[in-house]
Structure 1
Amino acid sequence: MVFREKVRRPEPSGLSRDRLERPLLDEAGPSVGLLLAPAGSGKTTLLAQVAATQLRPTAWYRARPEDRTEDALVQHVTEALSVVLPNALPVSTTVDQLILATESGVAQSVQLIVDDVHELAGSPAETALERFLEFRPRHLRLLFGSRRPLALNTSRLQVSGDLLELDSDDLRFRSWEVEELFRSVYRQPLSPEAAAALTRRTGGWAAGLQLFHLATLGKSSTERIRAATELGGRSRLVRAYLTRNVLAGLAPERRRFLLITSALGRLTGPLCDELLEQTGSAAVLEELEALQFFTTSTDDGTTYRYHQVLQTHLKGLLIDELGAAASRELHSRSAQLLEKAGCPRDAMRAHALADDWASVARLLQQGNTAGHDWVARSGLPDDDPWLALARARRLFRSGSVEAAVRAYKDAEALLDDPEFQARCADERTQAEVWLPQPPAAPVRRDGQTVRRTGHAIRQATRRIPEPGVGTDDPLAAGTIALLAGRLDEARELLLPVAADSSARSAGRLWAAISVVVTDLARGNWSDAEVPLEEIALSAELEELPWLARLARGLQAAVLLATRPEDWRPDGCAALVDECTRDGDRWGSLLMATSIGAAQLRTRDDQAALDWLRRAAVEAAALDARAPRAWALTFGAVAMARLRHPGTAAQLTETEHLIRAAAVPGAHRLLDHARRLIEEPAKGVTSSRARLHTLGGFRLELDGQAVHWPPLRPRARALLLLLAIHPGRDLHRERLIDALWPDAPTEAGPHRLQVAASNVRQCLAAVGLGDQAVQRNGDAYRLVLPGTWNDLTEFETRLRQARKSRTLTDWSAVLDLYVGELLPEVGAAEWVLAERDRYRLAAAEAALQVADLATDVQALHAAHRAVELDALRDSSWLLLADLQEEQGDPTAAAATRREYARISAELEAPVSPRERPARDG
């Protein structure tokens, strides 16, 4: 028996994530895909989104426990494929019959999705599925969703390159995706910091995000942000989900293993064996990881950790099931084992959960442990010197320099011990370096200045030393080179530090951030968001909140430049406001500068200038002349593009500051600003230019058509392709595929560069400057500041019309559509999708005008709606109604006959589009 519900494709929902969908839809990619992740990871959601695309017919089958026989599997796969094939497959009872049936009955590229395959594990159905996988016709693509590894020969597929596997780490939501999810799908926006906190708390677990959304429905923005930072496994909905979907099917001994060992936090075979007083724990941990059971290892099986949400849930279950006293005892034993194993951080956490604060203070005193945020919230007396030192360290690691210096002084006064006081004084000196008026660098007994990394970098923020002078430390030297604008040198020095796993975490992560900044300075913004996400997560794990926040701020600036949305500037501002609120003046300076640079890149020059002025003020207050020189230099570029009357004075002031701070790299940018001022004298007349692509490509200057210099066909095609995506980055692979599809791999980029150069020269020759075609890493865009563009105007008018729904606004949209997009290129593949999009939008406008207008205008618009989209039912029906209303029944009858003829010619009924209701 086959239940149709098992082969019904679910409706797509949730956030569409291109980074996951693209490889699964790639025609040239592997023909078998496997999504292997725990419950609630978003496997079914992603599979439903892939199934909903129109790329190929997609059959769907959701496996259930009752389908564990070969016959049941074969029946369901047959039925699933028959739903999407022109002709149903013949009935089969064995997998071999099914394979033969698909060889003759599946004649085109078809995709079969089998979800919840883990339900078939260890059954005859799984064996039959493996045979089907091996001998099916090659054009039948397979996608599997499973909670645990399959007993299929996936290793052979991996070796042959015919298997794409996505695991829980691939499926987890990144912080920017969480922000987009709550804004675009749930319609409940979260600030960037709240999205980052929620991502951290849930580990990007899809079900956790959904449960958080359900738990906060109807709550205020403030309540949701607070909930995001406090979310844990004690949430009622999270507990219910984990109990029902994760823990319910476990054997009692496995459940006990998870419950007891959760007290350790850090899991190894020997530690678990000692805590449980048994053997074999290493094999259990390895099995849990292999089964994708919320258990991960980052060092090839030496140590393991449970997923954050599961860990929090288990800690709650410990108290519920063992009682508070037994839970404290278990955590105390765990702490002792962790101390013995040389894991002081994890031991401190366990002691804290055992309410053994004396042991916490002892561990702080014995080692140089940095402490944890819970120390500051512990409610312990303020007269404990070691906890006071931990608080000072936390403040410094959070970027609150002035508060940290005061806290170090308070801690130093609490204990009359020379060694403790020396430690406090030494760390306080390192913090004082970053005060607005830092003390002089420490001096050794022989009179030589101590060149510590922090002192060297801080000194360089005031004036850049000569190359090679001042420090032999590669981290300091690389940072100074970056401040000076010597990008090649900075990258060469910082890359080894960023890759050195033995280096101190703070230095390694700062080097990694600096390497990303060198990439941004070179114009490569498109690939920065992922490394910044990894840096932020690493910094959070290492309890370095200042570096985590800085990485998040840079990531927000990158997304502002590469994925501009109306709400992103507010998110960036919230991050800077957070810095200001916490007393993090250096974070505020660096974030304001990066946001200003991002706005400059998007050519929002006024917003860029506002941010860069804010950065310059902050830099002046911190006596950081080198960063201030960069902020003023970027600001000069914005002012030059704005034709700001104070540009000349800004250039003079900035020139003096660049010389005083010895920032050689800023001279080139300042020269660029000067050239921008001089451009009008060179005949750059973009402010009087109008670019048309609807109805044909043409450029007008002062109302006169421009006669283009000769351009080779492919160069002209590149110009047209960039023109129909105004201001947007197009990756070079997309451009090469569109214009040079048959070019050898190594020849395509070169041909693109040559064509882009020819287009630049052509645009410069007609008075549009030599920077109209800009390169952003591996992407290109057309930038014509001040030029009126019909597509940009069309999009703006369309958004306004959909919002206002007035006749005036819809008429303005329709008037702009003077013809199809670039008719001169014919049926070139790269224009078809955009051409259809604008045509259908114009048809929508025509239909709305016909519905809102009266008499001749309405009739004319209805005719045009039918011409633009003959498959829209409502256009034909409205046209016939209008003809009848205006006294022409003959024309109305002819319209209905033509509509019936077109409908009959279609193989399937025309999908009705919503028809606006006419008044009266």
Structure 2
Amino acid sequence: MLGRLGGVETHGLAVVVAPVGYGKTTLLGQWSAARPGTVRWCTPLALPDADALIRDCGGPGALSGVVIDDVADDQVRRPRGRLVRLIEQLAPTVPVILAARRMPAFNLARHEFPHPVVVTARDLAFRTWEITGLFADVYGDALGAEEALTIAERTDGWAASLRLWHLARRLRERDEEEDRDAEPGAFGGLLHGYLDREVLSALGAGSRRLLARSAAFDCVSAQRLDLLLGRQDCHHTLTRIARKVSLVDASASSSDGPHYRYHVALRRNLRSELVHELGVDGTRHLFARAAEVAEELGDLGEAGAARCRANDAPGLAALIERHGPSRVTSNPGTLDLVTTALSRQHPAIALARADLLLHEGRAHEARREVSQAAQLVARPEVTAEVVRRATSGQIPVTLEPGSPGAEALRLLAQQGPRHAKQALTRGAGGADEPGGLMAELALAALDVLVDPASGLTELERVDDHLRTHGLRWLRRLAHAVARCCTAEPQRCAEVLRLAAARERLGDRWGAALIESSVALALLRHGRPDADLLERLCERFRLLGAPALEAWARSALALASAQDDVPDSDVATSAVAFAQAGGAPGPLAVAYAALALSKPDLRAELLTLAQATAREGGLTCRPWTWSRDPAPAVRDAHRSRPVTAGGASSGRSAIRPHAAPGAFDAVDASARAALPAAPPAHPAAGPWGGLALRCFGTFAVTARDGAGSLAGVRPIALTVLRMLAVQAGSPVHRDVIVEAQWPELREQPALHNLHVSVSNLRRGLETLVPGHSRELLARQGQAYVLAPGEEAVTDLQRFDRLLAEASRCRRAGERTGQGQALRAALGLYAGEVLPGDGAAEWVVTVREHYRLLAAGAAAQLAQLELSREHSAAAVAAAQRSVQIDPWRDSSWRTLIAAHAQAGEPAESERAKQEYAAVLASLGISTMPLGPAHAAPVAAQPRAVTGQRVSRVRTA
């Protein structure tokens, strides 16, 4: 909002005019705080001397602005008054801002004044997406999109009423908690009190009564009110009321004089007063009379709304049958008035309600209303047209074939924004109708999503028109675009929940377009969602929208190429589909995707993409939106070998971890001073302190606790676990495919892998923003988790701790050896990934680490025994035999440790337990051997002197 006042620097004068409670003072306070010098605040009754203010403009802390608050008409009525002279003298030198509840009466166009910047109540009102942000960021009270739309409709974004709504939510009774979209019960009382104090206190009793009765209409005129009340003097009373009540707008006029529109919050409050004064029956009688007046004057939308408020089903049905449902239900908000209780009384009302529900995208409910109408009338032909539209899932007017909105959307999808804008100018350009507004919204949304830095000005303008016409379905799309245009994960998830809710209501078009806004935002910010794009391909195919399906296919191809998918089938298919549909925009993107997938033809295909884009009027270049990693990281990734561990087949891309005898060969860069206990997270680095736990369970956390993998598919998490046990080393795609999709042919299996990797990267992006592609990188035909030297898994840290223990043992550093062994055993919280059961890719790894942990405990027990730390030796030996009951050396050390501790009974019991283990193996005598044997190597005996591959390779 501060941006709207930016022009005051150039123009020198701004006027902020809005009724009470719109936040004028708050806005000007923020503007003052952002100024580099001093801002002088004053009122028209206490104006400073202009010459003195001008003298203050030099030096440190100089005057940088003047705010004149609470400007009233009677204070500036004389053109040459002090305020006018002050503006004339200051405005060329110092920015001056006036704040008023109504536009000041003096001539702002006079030549002595600079051209003013004007900020109105409409500018200050909160949009639906701003309401969501206000409640979440300021009030700490998260809203769903539907509730934000409801609040916007019932408060018109008025800051004061938004605050009251929040307070009412805080006061909400527990039995109301389930219906989060309903108006809080306390809101009406809080609003009534505020309006009484701040808005209506200047009115006399007679004016107050007339004002309440005038609320029988949505749009008030003196003629209507005279006919309603049987008077001839309402014009004068309404004029006085409009001067005193800032929430009454008299700007509109027609042949019968000025038309007064009341703020929605004021109108709702006045109608509540009517019920309190006249009772329910008296109020309904007043609304019925208002319906007669409106019909007599030809305002059928007003008449229909009044019949609904009168709960007059026969009168409403007769009105519909005389004039048709579209004219009778044309007023904004009529759907809320045509209740199910009314629709059950007459088939004409049921069919009208069904049509309104279709406008709102609630196809399932529309079908139920059609069924209700069919039960009330024995003429099936009456319902045929509504049945057709209800079962097709189309939205009437805005998207039905031939409408301006559908035509502009088709051109936008087929050929790009330039041709769509030309069609809009020729046909529905600026048309104040749903179809034209749909086209304008599509273009404004595309501008915001493609270039978020351009701001929301055009989208806000279109949203103002949608609000005026009560087009909630289109406002919901505008809300979705504004919320997700920055591609913030939390906001995108919020918008996707909105799409899912629309799908449940049968609003297939709404769900598809809302999801499309998220998909485009993510693609624009270099984080394409392949799953979402694939779902959109299917959605648009089922909706019979081939041009939009072509866009989804091309975007999917581009996303696959940017996600390092090593084949070009998706791009080739997208090219063929776009060519068949004659859609140059999607075709250009598909060519670019193919260029990324075919490096040998990259230059030629990119040239073709550019030429096709120019031909189709596509001004943006989506293939330039990809976010490349930093050169150093990228080059490091490319320099790593595709295979490791001496594998030459190109299929075994799994590096075997060092066997116990090879601890000494660990790279010196991994050797560091080790604490007595392992850290909860690895040191912060490119991965932001990410930690993956594989011992005992699987868990992924970031240092700051941010992010979540909750939205990642189970199969993608399995791929992550498979890569985690090989972190730092490439795993060939064939190995993953064979382990996860052995029953599928190569291409479907690879497609599943690519989708899983894309899904996984999106989840990792929430944990390591901006680094998900570096964290999960592709190297040739292999994938690697966390390439480089940084340890991100407990398996990696376990290996490095054992390597450090080996180094300390060779150097004679017994204290360091003990610390390293204890730290390693602290990491071993159980078997590796027990939740994956007997999967072949994990069984070998699991056994490998079980034997390493048992060997480490045995080493620690021997070390403590040699240092005569009997209790520590007992604990370590017990841990060893718990992990590996068949480790003879650990049993012997346990027996000796108990003996050294002077515990003959425990020593004897350990002998008996050892004997039982031997007996289970068919060995009848206990092998004899020295208690203090040579240190036991922490290695699996079956593979002594060999390297252990943790995953079966081909």
TM-score where L is the length of structure 2 = 0.58
Does 2:11 match 1:57? no
Q: Where does residue 508 of structure 1 map in the other structure?
A: 436
Instruction: Supply the AA of the counterpart residue of 1:637.
Output: L
Q: Where does residue 551 of structure 2 map in the other structure?
A: 630
Q: Where does residue 146 of structure 1 map in the other structure?
A: 100
Q: Where does residue 547 of structure 1 map in the other structure?
A: 474
Does 2:156 match 1:156? no
Does 2:527 match 1:598? no
Compute the displacement of 1:312 (Å). 0.4
Compute the displacement of 1:584 (Å). 1.0
Q: Does the CA-based 8 Å contact 2:284-2:310 persist in structure 1?
A: yes
Q: CA 1:627–1:426 in structure 2 vs 1: closer, same or farther (change >3 Å)?
A: same
Q: Does the CA-based 8 Å contact 1:475-1:511 persist in structure 2?
A: yes
Q: Does the CA-based 8 Å contact 1:273-1:281 persist in structure 2?
A: yes
Compute the displacement of 1:363 (Å). 1.4
Give the alignment of 1:703-714 within 5 angstroms.
Answer: none
Q: CA 1:425–1:364 in structure 2 vs 1: closer, same or farther (change >3 Å)?
A: same
Q: Where does residue 119 of structure 2 map in the other structure?
A: 166
* Whole-angstrom CA distance in 2 between matches of 1:287 and 1:121: 18
Q: Where does residue 534 of structure 2 map in the other structure?
A: 613
Larger Rg: 2
Instruction: Supply the AA of the counterpart residue of 2:350.
Output: A
Instruction: Supply the AA of the counterpart residue of 2:286.
Output: L
Q: Does the CA-based 8 Å contact 2:561-2:593 persist in structure 1?
A: yes
The one of 129, 136, 140 aligned to 1:176: 129
Once the two structures are aligned, what percentage of the paired residues are identical? 25
Q: Where does residue 385 of structure 2 map in the other structure?
A: 426
Q: CA 1:776–1:172 in structure 2 vs 1: closer, same or farther (change >3 Å)?
A: farther
Give the alignment of 1:434-513 within 5 angstroms.
Answer: 434=393, 456=401, 477-485=407-415, 487-499=417-429, 501=431, 505-513=433-441
Q: Does the CA-based 8 Å contact 2:56-2:63 persist in structure 1?
A: no
Compute the displacement of 1:657 (Å). 3.5
Compute the displacement of 1:326 (Å). 3.1
Compute the displacement of 1:318 (Å). 1.4
Q: CA 1:273–1:19 in structure 2 vs 1: closer, same or farther (change >3 Å)?
A: farther
Q: CA 1:18–1:780 in structure 2 vs 1: closer, same or farther (change >3 Å)?
A: farther
Q: CA 1:268–1:393 in structure 2 vs 1: closer, same or farther (change >3 Å)?
A: same
Compute the displacement of 1:242 (Å). 0.7
Q: CA 1:55–1:664 in structure 2 vs 1: closer, same or farther (change >3 Å)?
A: same
Deviations 1:267-326 (A, max 9, x none): 123112323444454465566556671123574565331000000011111122333343
Q: CA 1:425–1:534 in structure 2 vs 1: closer, same or farther (change >3 Å)?
A: farther
Q: Where does residue 640 of structure 1 map in the other structure?
A: 561
Q: CA 1:550–1:777 in structure 2 vs 1: closer, same or farther (change >3 Å)?
A: same
Compute the displacement of 1:603 (Å). 0.6
Instruction: Supply the AA of the counterpart residue of 1:28.
Output: T
* Whole-angstrom CA distance in 2 between matches of 1:404 and 1:624: 23
Instruction: Supply the AA of the counterpart residue of 1:510.
Output: M
Q: Where does residue 27 of structure 1 map in the other structure?
A: 9
Q: Where does residue 850 of structure 1 map in the other structure?
A: none
Instruction: Supply the AA of the counterpart residue of 1:616.
Output: C
* Whole-angstrom CA distance in 2 between matches of 1:137 and 1:623: 59
Q: Does the CA-based 8 Å contact 2:394-2:509 persist in structure 1?
A: no
* Whole-angstrom CA distance in 2 between matches of 1:535 and 1:50: 27
Q: CA 1:114–1:405 in structure 2 vs 1: closer, same or farther (change >3 Å)?
A: same
Bigger Cα displacement from structure 2, 581-590 vs 269-278: 269-278
Q: Does the CA-based 8 Å contact 2:149-2:476 persist in structure 1?
A: no
Give the RMSD, CA atoms, in angstroms: 4.4
Compute the displacement of 1:192 (Å). 2.7
Deviations 1:685-735 (A, max 9, x none): xxxxxxxxxxxxxxxxxxxxxxxxxxxxxxxxxxxxxxxxxxxxxxxxxxx
Structure 1 residue ranges without an equivalent (≥5): 1-16, 78-97, 437-451, 458-472, 684-774, 805-920
Structure 2 residue ranges without an equivalent (≥5): 604-617, 634-683, 691-701, 707-954
Q: Does the CA-based 8 Å contact 1:338-1:347 persist in structure 2?
A: yes
Compute the displacement of 1:184 (Å). 1.8
The one of 182, 205, 227 aligned to 1:252: 205
* Whole-angstrom CA distance in 2 between matches of 1:433 and 1:577: 19
* Whole-angstrom CA distance in 1 between matches of 2:565 and 2:366: 41
The one of 398, 402, 407 aligned to 2:360: 398
* Whole-angstrom CA distance in 1 between matches of 2:52 and 2:622: 46
Deviations 1:849-889 (A, max 9, x none): xxxxxxxxxxxxxxxxxxxxxxxxxxxxxxxxxxxxxxxxx
**Partner of 2:10: helix, strand, or coil?**
coil
Q: Does the CA-based 8 Å contact 1:289-1:295 persist in structure 2?
A: yes
Q: Does the CA-based 8 Å contact 1:120-1:126 persist in structure 2?
A: no
Give the alignment of 1:106-117 within 5 angstroms.
Answer: 106-107=57-58, 108-117=62-71
Compute the displacement of 1:243 (Å). 0.7
TM-score where L is the length of structure 1 = 0.60
Instruction: Supply the AA of the counterpart residue of 2:154.
Output: R
**Partner of 2:42: helix, strand, or coil?**
strand
Q: Where does residue 204 of structure 1 map in the other structure?
A: 157
Q: CA 1:318–1:785 in structure 2 vs 1: closer, same or farther (change >3 Å)?
A: same
The one of 676, 679, 693 aligned to 2:596: 676
Q: Does the CA-based 8 Å contact 1:389-1:407 persist in structure 2?
A: yes
* Whole-angstrom CA distance in 1 between matches of 2:275 and 2:525: 53
* Whole-angstrom CA distance in 1 between matches of 2:522 and 2:392: 31
Does 2:419 match 1:576? no
Compute the displacement of 1:209 (Å). 1.0
* Whole-angstrom CA distance in 2 between matches of 1:555 and 1:132: 41
Does 2:14 match 1:41? no
Compute the displacement of 1:48 (Å). 1.0
Compute the displacement of 1:170 (Å). 1.7
Give the alignment of 1:837-876 within 5 angstroms.
Answer: none
Q: CA 1:406–1:547 in structure 2 vs 1: closer, same or farther (change >3 Å)?
A: same
**Partner of 1:259: helix, strand, or coil?**
helix
Compute the displacement of 1:389 (Å). 0.7
Compute the displacement of 1:167 (Å). 1.9
Compute the displacement of 1:246 (Å). 0.4
Q: Does the CA-based 8 Å contact 1:36-1:165 persist in structure 2?
A: yes
Q: Does the CA-based 8 Å contact 1:402-1:435 persist in structure 2?
A: no
**Partner of 2:373: helix, strand, or coil?**
helix
Give the alignment of 1:826-905 within 5 angstroms.
Answer: none
Compute the displacement of 1:241 (Å). 0.8
Compute the displacement of 1:526 (Å). 4.6
Give the alignment of 1:786-801 within 5 angstroms.
Answer: 786-787=629-630
* Whole-angstrom CA distance in 2 between matches of 1:538 and 1:610: 34
Compute the displacement of 1:46 (Å). 0.7
